[in-house]
Amino acid sequence: MLRRRCYSRLAAALAKKNLIGLSLPQLQHELATIPEARKYTAQQVWEHMYRRGITDFQGMTNLSKTLRSELDSRYKIHYGHVQLAQVSRDQTRKWLVGFADDPRAVVESVLIPEPDRATLCVSSQIGCSLQCSFCHTGTQKLFRSLTASEVVGQYMIAAKEANDFNVTKKTVSNMVFMGQGEPLYNWRQVRQAIQVLTDTNGIAMPKHKITVSTSGVVPLIPNVASDVGVSLAISLHATRNDLRDVLVPLNKTFPLEIVLEACTTYAQLMGNRGRRITFEYVMLDGVNDSQSEARDLVRLLRQLPSHVNLIPFNPWPGSIYRTSKPEKIEKFARIVMEGGVHCTVRRPRGQDIMAACGQLKSSAEKKRSLVT
């Protein structure tokens, strides 16, 4: 009897619609069906959810009791189930987040702290369809794309952990779509999530602090500027098409020249709002790390507002590549800088908990081994 009651309560909770991730017009539309709701109710609920981090309608004390109960009976405010939380030796945090529909619906998000800020790396899909040869995520088939709710939920989990609600200076200051998946293959949902995250009456994350990273889905690169106006990162990794075809197979569809053309369009659309485009370049020992390739990189990028970010390859079990020697990375960086292109080397973070760039994978097998 007791068990049956528990199940029916669980079923009722699952049936409730989650308000996280709806756009403000969608929320207004949704709440308009409630007789007790006023014109400004959606705005009030929005501020409670995103400014104050309230997840229980009873805590929304400026709404009438009847309205609160009505909201409670129809909706929930749910970020996702944190199945595992890990902290690395360098204080990088990783969360394994599950979503209700399927036990395989699990992604990872990573929070990388810096002295006066923290960058949250979120996933846009469960797995990835693109199979870049150096990326762990690429070995996990695409299970499905995430909803806007699931993308925003990853931020809310990190913000809650960081006590970022009701404060003026937030810890989670930057967000990068560099977790699992290709954000431009899930653009509608990612775009909606960005609109929620940047809404000035809610989370109000500044647009230039959000970076969408793509392996080069050319037709949608200009939309990063025209739809949402956030920062762009391109996973370049090679200066020649024959090598990029191997490292980033999407290059066979959208080769280097047209990726760079799309970047020019992005830069034009951003106009004076624009920041430099980040070009990510994974350093693979003996594969793409020669001095002549550094010079080629300068030639390719000189005409664009660019910033090269060299990423020492992060190994994963079964990977066929090795990380370039530190001296080689340094020399490569020096050539790029001397050629007049901004260049930094990304310090690997969270490697001991497999949280570094390209190490994320959430297959059912791995999840089982982490949880038990």
The verdict on 132 binding ligand SF4 (CB under 6 A) reads yes
CB of 76 to ligand SAH, least distance (A): 30
The verdict on 135 binding ligand SF4 (CB under 6 A) reads yes
Active site residue 357: yes
The verdict on 43 binding ligand SF4 (CB under 6 A) reads no
Burial status of residue 136 (CB atoms within 10 A of its CB: 0-12, 13-18, 19 or more): buried
CB of 184 to ligand SF4, least distance (A): 9
Q: Which of the following is catalytic: 132, 135, 263, 357?
A: 357
CB of 183 to ligand SF4, least distance (A): 9
> If contact means CB under 5 to 8 A according to the sort of partner, which of ligand SAH, ligand SF4, none does residue 313 touch?
ligand SAH
Using the rule CB under 6 A, which residue among 41, 109, 137, 314 binds ligand SF4?
137
Reading the block at residue 118, the tokens are: 């923290």
Q: Specify the residue, 80 or 138, whose C-beta has the smaller distance to ligand SF4.
A: 138
Q: Specify the residue, 20 or 121, whose C-beta has the smaller distance to ligand SF4.
A: 121
**Percent helix, strand and coil across the chain, each to the nearest 5:** 40, 20, 40
CB of 212 to ligand SF4, least distance (A): 12
Q: Which of the following is catalytic: 6, 36, 108, 150?
A: 108
Name the site residues for ligand SAH (rule: CB under 6 A): 132, 134-135, 178, 182, 213-215, 235, 280, 282, 311, 313-314, 357-358
Reading the block at residue 85, the tokens are: 């939380």
Angle, CA 23 vertex, CA 8 and CA 159 arms, to 5° = 75
User: In Å, what is the CA distance from 170 to each residue of 94, 109, 145, 165, 200?
Assistant: 19, 18, 28, 8, 14
Kindly report the backbone phi and psi dihedral angles of residue 364, in degrees, each rounded to the nearest multiple of 5, phi listed first.
-55, -40
**Cα–Cα distance measured from residue 314 to residue 134, given in angstroms and rounded to the nearest whole number:** 9
Q: Mention every residue, 6+ apart, whose C-beta is less than 8 A from residue 234.
A: 213, 214, 216, 221, 259, 263, 277, 278, 279, 280
CB of 161 to ligand SAH, least distance (A): 22
Three-state DSSP state, 367: helix
Q: Specify the residue, 75 or 281, whose C-beta has the smaller distance to ligand SAH.
A: 281
**Structural element, H or E, at residue 193:** helix 187-198
Residues in touch with ligand SF4 (CB under 6 A)? 128, 130-132, 135, 137-138, 181-182, 215, 235
Catalytic positions, written as ranges: 108, 357
